[in-house]
Structure 1
Amino acid sequence: MATMHSVTRSSICMDTVITVQCVSSHSRETIVAGIERAFTAFRSVETACSRFDENSELRRLSLKPGVAQPVSAVLFEALRFARQLAETTEGVFDPTVGELLERKGFARHYLTGCTPPPLPFPSTPVSYRDFTLDEQDRTVTLWKPLLLDLGAVAKGLAVDWANKELEGHEGYLINAGGDLLAHGYNELGNPWRIGIRHPHQPGQQIRTLQISDMAVCTSGSYERRSPSDDSTHHLLDPYTEASSQELLSCTVVAPYAMLADGLSTAVFLLGQKRGLQLLETMNIEGLVISSAQDIATTTQMRRFLYE
């Protein structure tokens, strides 16, 4: 029987600590090389999709409204998925909220502490209908001056791209600060156990999941607060321009991370009833925690819960 090695590495990227644990019969050198390629995938997605870097591809896109602009494959994929999710939720999830987020104080780069130069946007309403994608030419056209935000999908996409760099290893867990993908089994030969953070007790877990070959992403009101108003968190309803207050967090289990990432935000914004209904229609499982700390789940979510 082949000797199994377990290697864990961490790196800071995309405003969080990325940790990759790989369990494999390959040599340690091969495992480490795969993990380093996974970190490179995270950095590539951040370079393309960051709203906080004035030199990012996403930020530069906002400088030329009305022009069909060629974009990279990674940025196009993130925008394509974000627009599709916006259509599914009738705009409750909306990637054109970048300017709104910056007005609410969510504009500072996590590494430099700097705020990118403000863009001269008129105060006119915008929505996901104000940009279009051309799949054949891989171009994006903004029909109004607007600032896109991909914070609800980019990290999940990065997890999925990192996953490609680790294919061939027996087991691994990619943890990007609440966005996770688990493949195979851990060093004990068991499915991976994932804790869901208690929204009011840092360091405590309110539930534990046991998964293999699935992604888990959580969106919570505790994650980021406005520096100018502690009652405002980053999950903003584009219609009211206010933080959604019905839920404390939403966790989604899905076949890939960008889907789980986007849906966890969408369900949080939709609220418990509409959000869980959306997951049921998509055959995706999830768990929400209300502002009263009550827990509700989709019908089959119990199969992932570790008792």
Structure 2
Amino acid sequence: MRANATGSQRRRTVRTRELMGTVASVHVIGESPDARVESAIEACLDELDHVESVFSPFRPESDVSRIRAGMLSVDDADPLVSVVVDACAAAKDATGGLFDAWHAGWFDPTCYVKGWAVERAARRWLEPLTEHPSVHAAGIGVGGDLQLFTAEGADWLWEIGIADPWHPGAVVATVQVVSGAVATSGTAERGSHILDPRSGAAAASVLSATVVAGSLETADLWATIAVIAGFDDLSWITTAGIRSGVLVAPDGRIRRWADGVELGPVTFTTVTPRS
């Protein structure tokens, strides 16, 4: 995804950091950044660094890796682990088993924890910035998943480009967000890396799934479910609590919905963003 913003010209403060196997990017729209803004940005990114140290399945010293190896119990792990265990159990129930952090025989919250962690850190550190008169908006993107906030009464609008899975650097559509979250999952960038817990096989019938919701935890979870459920199954959109979404199939078919209702056929025109 590519994020731009519309509104009157204002200063944009951007800070980035490599984490969670990708790049996190924090944007604060407003006056010249002061120590409070800089401190909030650093605290947000530091919190995500800590989450990665606890949950990364690729770090042998992480809590999740040690739990998998039988070297650590959930009760003795970082307290965040118990929080995520409970959240993943609730997500399994809510999705009818389409999401299952235990499907591999051990606890692996990889497909859940990023959206949860980014929203948690953003709401703790970035959202309060919008209460200051000099800050009009704040948001964070991690690997293309976005949690965005706009100050009450501000004439600011986040315009999010949905990446064209066939043409890198281009977009197939845009969505406008005042405050909310956008998440994309699928096979376009990382291949068939999402497993269907019902069969154990890779989910491959959705090239790209984009979900818009108020919460990144929710958007990220249901973008993953969209891939697992498959292109032909939109039965879940009526109960997911999301705003809208788009599915792109490997053969070029597109399905879209809003407020739990599928919309009519549409042909998207590829647009290459201006530099």
Short-chain TM bin: 0.7 to 0.9
Q: Does 1:219 align with 2:177?
A: no
Distance 2:64 2:73 in 1: 14
Determine the structure 1 residue equivalent to 2:90: 84
Closer, same or farther: CA 299–6 of 1 in aligned 2, 3 Å: closer
Deviations 1:163-185 (A, max 9, x none): 11113223112010121011106
* 2:213–2:241 Cα contact (<8 Å) kept: no
Partner of 1:56: 62
1:7 and 1:31 in contact (8 A); partners too = no
The equivalent of 2:205 in structure 1 is 246
Aligned to 1:132: none
- Tell me, in whole angstroms, the C-alpha distance in 2 between the residues paired with 1:279 and 1:234: 23
8 Å Cα contact 1:199-1:220 kept in structure 2:
no
Counterpart in 1 of 2:225?
A: 266
Deviation for aligned residue 1:42: 0.9
| Structure 1 CA distance for aligned equivalents of residues 50 and 158 of structure 2 | 27
How big is the shift at 1:269?
0.1
* 1:173-188 equivalent positions in 2, closer than 5 A: 173-184=139-150
Structure 2: gaps spanning 5 or more residues: 1-8, 131-136, 264-270
- Alignment partners' CA distance in 1, 2:13 and 2:255: 36
Unpaired segments ≥5 residues, structure 1: 100-125, 127-145, 226-232
Q: Does the C-alpha gap of structure 1 residues 45 and 178 become closer, same or farther in structure 2, counting only changes over 3 Å?
A: same
Q: What are the equivalent positions in structure 2 for 1:93-108 lying under 5 Å apart?
A: 93-97=99-103, 99=104
Deviations 1:252-293 (A, max 9, x none): 11221111111111121012343x321222331222112222
Q: Is the 8 A contact 1:287 1:298 kept in 2?
A: yes
Which residue of 240, 254, 263 corresponds with 1:282? 240
Aligned-pair distance for 1:201? 1.1
Distance 1:79 1:196 in 2: 31
Kindly indicate whether residue 257 of structure 2 is the aligned counterpart of residue 291 of structure 1. no
Q: Do the aligned residues in 1 keep the contact of 2:146 with 2:182 (CA within 8 Å)?
A: yes
Deviation for aligned residue 1:245? 1.9
Q: Could you tell me the TM-score, scaled by structure 1's length?
A: 0.72
| Higher mean displacement: 248-257 or 17-26 | 17-26
Deviations 1:145-174 (A, max 9, x none): x3x222211111221122111132231120
Task: Report how many residues are paired.
Answer: 245
8 Å contact kept, 1:197–1:203: yes
Structure 1 vs Structure 2 CA RMSD: 2.7
- Measured in 1, the distance between the counterparts of 2:214 and 2:67 equals 30
Percent identity over the alignment?
27
Give the TM-score of the pair, scaled to structure 2.
Answer: 0.80
With over 3 angstroms needed to count, the CA separation of the structure-2 counterparts of 1:31 and 1:66, relative to structure 1, is: closer
